[in-house]
Amino acid sequence: MDTFIQQIVNGLVLGSVYALVALGYTMVYGIINLINFAHGEVLMVGALTSWTVVTALGKSGLPGWLLLIIGLVAAIIVCCTLNYTIEKIAYRPLRNAPRLAPLITAMGMSLLLQTLAMIIWEPTYKSYPILLAGEPHSIGGAVINNVQILILVVTAVTLSGLMYLVNKTKLGRAMRATAENPRVAGLMGVRPDQVISATFIIGAALAALAGVMYAANYGSAQHTMGFLPGLKAFTAAVFGGIGNLAGAMLGGVLLGLIESFGAGYIGAITGGVLGSNYQDIFAFIVLIIVLTLRPSGLLGERVADRA
Partner 1 sequence: MKLNKTTLTIGAVVLLILPLIAGQFGNAWVRIIDIALLYVLLALGLNIVVGFAGLLDLGYVAFYAVGAYMFGLLASSQLTDTFPGIAAMFPHGLHTPWWVVIPLGALLAGTAGMLLGAPTLKLRGDYLAIVTLGFGEIVRVFMNNLDAPINITNGPKGITGIDDISMFGVHFGKTGSFMGLEFPKVTNYYYLFLALVLFAIMVCYRLERSRIGRAWMAIREDEIAAKAMGINTRNLKLLAFGMGATFGGVAGAMFASFQGFISPESFSLQESVIIVAMVVLGGIGHLPGVIVGALLLSALPEVLRYIAGPLQQLSGGRLDASILRQLLVALAMIGIMLSRPRGLWPSPEHGKDSTPDTLPVSPHMHLAPGEQIPPVVTHIKPDAQ
Yes or no: say if 259 and 283 are a contact pair by the CB < 8 Å rule.
yes
| Segment interacting with partner 1, rule: CB under 8 A, options 15-23, 132-140, 202-210, 272-280 | 272-280
Closest listed residue to residue 193, CA positions, set 181, 207, 204, 182:
182
Residues sharing a CB contact under 8 Å with residue 119, sequence separation 6 or more, in sequence order: none
Of the pair 169, 277, the CB lying nearest partner 1 is at 277
What phi and psi, each to the nearest 5 degrees, are found at residue 88? -65, -40
What sign does the CA torsion over 284, 285, 287, 288 have? positive
CB of 231 to partner 1, least distance (A): 7
Of the pair 59, 306, the CB lying nearest partner 1 is at 306
Among 198, 221, 234, 264, binds partner 1 (CB under 8 A): 234
CB of 98 to partner 1, least distance (A): 6
**Rounded distance between C-alpha atoms, residue 158 and residue 163, angstroms:** 9
Yes or no: say if 228 and 280 are a contact pair by the CB < 8 Å rule.
yes
**Rounded distance between C-alpha atoms, residue 182 and residue 176, angstroms:** 10
Interaction mask 25-64, partner 1, x per CB under 8 A: ----x---x-x-----------------------------
Mutual angle of helices 279-293 and 227-240, in 10-degree steps: 20
Among 157, 219, 275, 301, binds partner 1 (CB under 8 A): 275
Helix, strand, coil shares of the chain, percent, nearest 5, are 75, 5, 20
Interaction mask 98-137, partner 1, x per CB under 8 A: xxxxxxxx-xxx-xx-xxx-xx--x---------------
Of the pair 51, 91, the CB lying nearest partner 1 is at 91
188 binds partner 1 (CB under 8 A): no
**Rounded distance between C-alpha atoms, residue 28 and residue 86, angstroms:** 13
> For partner 1, how many residues bind (rule: CB under 8 A)?
56
**Rounded distance between C-alpha atoms, residue 242 and residue 220, angstroms:** 30
Among 134, 136, 140, 295, binds partner 1 (CB under 8 A): 295
281 binds partner 1 (CB under 8 A): yes
Q: DSSP 3-state assignment of 146?
A: helix
Of the pair 11, 243, the CB lying nearest partner 1 is at 243
CB of 207 to partner 1, least distance (A): 18
298 binds partner 1 (CB under 8 A): no
Among 56, 66, 130, 288, binds partner 1 (CB under 8 A): 288
Q: What does the binding site for partner 1 look like in residue numbers (CB under 8 A)?
A: 29, 33, 35, 89-90, 93-94, 96-105, 107-109, 111-112, 114-116, 118-119, 122, 182-183, 227, 231, 234-235, 238, 242, 272-275, 277-278, 280-281, 283-285, 287-288, 291-292, 295, 304-307
